[in-house]
Structure 1
Amino acid sequence: MSANTLRVERATPGAQRTETDRRAATRSAALRYPSLTTTVPKEFVHRASVAEVMLTDWERRDEHRFTVTAQWPRSHTFFTSVNGCHDPLIAAETLRQAGTLLAHAEYGVPLGHHFLMWDLSLTVWPEHLLVDGAPTSLDIDIVCSDFKMRGDSLAGFRYQTVMRRAGQVVATGGASFTCMAPKVYQRLRSNRRNSAGPQLPLTAPAAPQNVGRVSPMDVVLSPVGQEGRWQLRVDTRHPVLFEHPVDHVPGMMLLEAARQATVATTGQCATPLSVTAEFSRYAELDTPCMIEARSLRRTGDEESVEVTGHQSGELVFRSTVTVAVPLT
Structure 2
Amino acid sequence: MPVFTAIDGDAPFPHTGPGHPGPHRYDFHERTVSRQLVHRSSVAEVLITGWQSTGPYDFLLGAQWPRVHGFYRLPGDRHHDPVLMAETLRQAALLVGHAGFGVPHDHHAVLDELGYTLGPAGLDGLAVRAAPTELMLRVTCHDVRMRHGRLVALRVQAEIERDGRPVGRGVGGLRILSPAAYDRLRGPGRPAAPPPRLPEQVVAPELVGRQQASDVVLGPALMPDSWLLRADAGHPALFDPMDPAPGHLPGMLVLEAARQAAQRLHHPDRVVPVDVVTSFHDPIAPDRPCVVRAVREVGPDTGQDGGGGRRAPVRVVLVQDGRTVAEVRLIGAPADGAPADGGPSAAAPAPTRRGLPLAS
Match of 1:100 in 2: 94
1:104 partner letter: H
* Structure 1 pair 78–192 and aligned structure 2 pair: CA distance change class (3 A): farther
TM-score, normalising length from structure 1?
A: 0.87
Q: Secondary structure at the match of 1:38?
A: coil
From 7, 10, 15, the equivalent of 2:13 is 7
Q: Secondary structure at the match of 2:314?
A: strand
Within the alignment, does 1:317 sit opposite 2:317 as a pair? no
Report how far residue 190 of structure 1 moved.
Answer: 4.8
* Structure 1 pair 195–138 and aligned structure 2 pair: CA distance change class (3 A): closer
Greater RCO structure (CA 8 Å; 6+ sep): 2
Show structure 2 runs of 5+ residues with no match: 302-309, 337-360
Q: Secondary structure at the match of 1:169?
A: strand
Report how far residue 96 of structure 1 moved.
Answer: 0.5
TM-score, normalising length from structure 2?
A: 0.80
From 32, 38, 45, the equivalent of 1:45 is 38
Contact 2:275 2:330 in 1 (8 A): yes
Match of 2:341 in 1: none
Contact 1:261 1:293 in 2 (8 A): yes
Match of 1:157 in 2: 154
Report how far residue 227 of structure 1 moved.
Answer: 2.3
Match of 2:166 in 1: 169
Higher strand proportion? 1
Match of 1:22 in 2: none
Within the alignment, does 1:265 sit opposite 2:271 as a pair? no
The two structures, once aligned, show a CA RMSD in angstroms of 2.6
Q: Secondary structure at the match of 2:160?
A: strand
Q: Secondary structure at the match of 1:236?
A: coil
Contact 1:119 1:278 in 2 (8 A): yes
Task: State how far apart, in whole Å, the 2-side matches of 1:7 and 1:260 are.
Answer: 41
Task: State how far apart, in whole Å, the 1-side matches of 2:316 and 2:108 are.
Answer: 26
After TM superposition, the structure 1 = structure 2 runs for residues 99-178 of structure 1, keeping only pairs within 5 Å, are 99-124=93-118, 125-178=122-175
Contact 2:217 2:230 in 1 (8 A): yes
Match of 1:221 in 2: 218
Task: State how far apart, in whole Å, the 1-side matches of 2:259 and 2:273 are.
Answer: 8
Report how far residue 266 of structure 1 moved.
Answer: 2.1
Within the alignment, does 1:68 sit opposite 2:51 as a pair? no
Q: Please say which of residues 129-138 and 240-249 is displaced more in the overlay.
A: 240-249
Contact 1:117 1:279 in 2 (8 A): yes
Contact 1:202 1:235 in 2 (8 A): no
Please give the per-residue CA displacement for 1:92-135, whole angstroms capped at 9, x wherever unaligned. Answer: 00001001101111111111210111121110221101111111
Contact 1:40 1:56 in 2 (8 A): yes
Contact 1:147 1:157 in 2 (8 A): yes
Aligned length: 309
Show structure 1 runs of 5+ residues with no match: 16-31
Query: Whose radius of gyration is greater, 1 or 2?
Result: 1
Task: State how far apart, in whole Å, the 2-side matches of 1:73 and 1:314 are.
Answer: 38
Task: State how far apart, in whole Å, the 1-side matches of 2:152 and 2:260 are.
Answer: 33
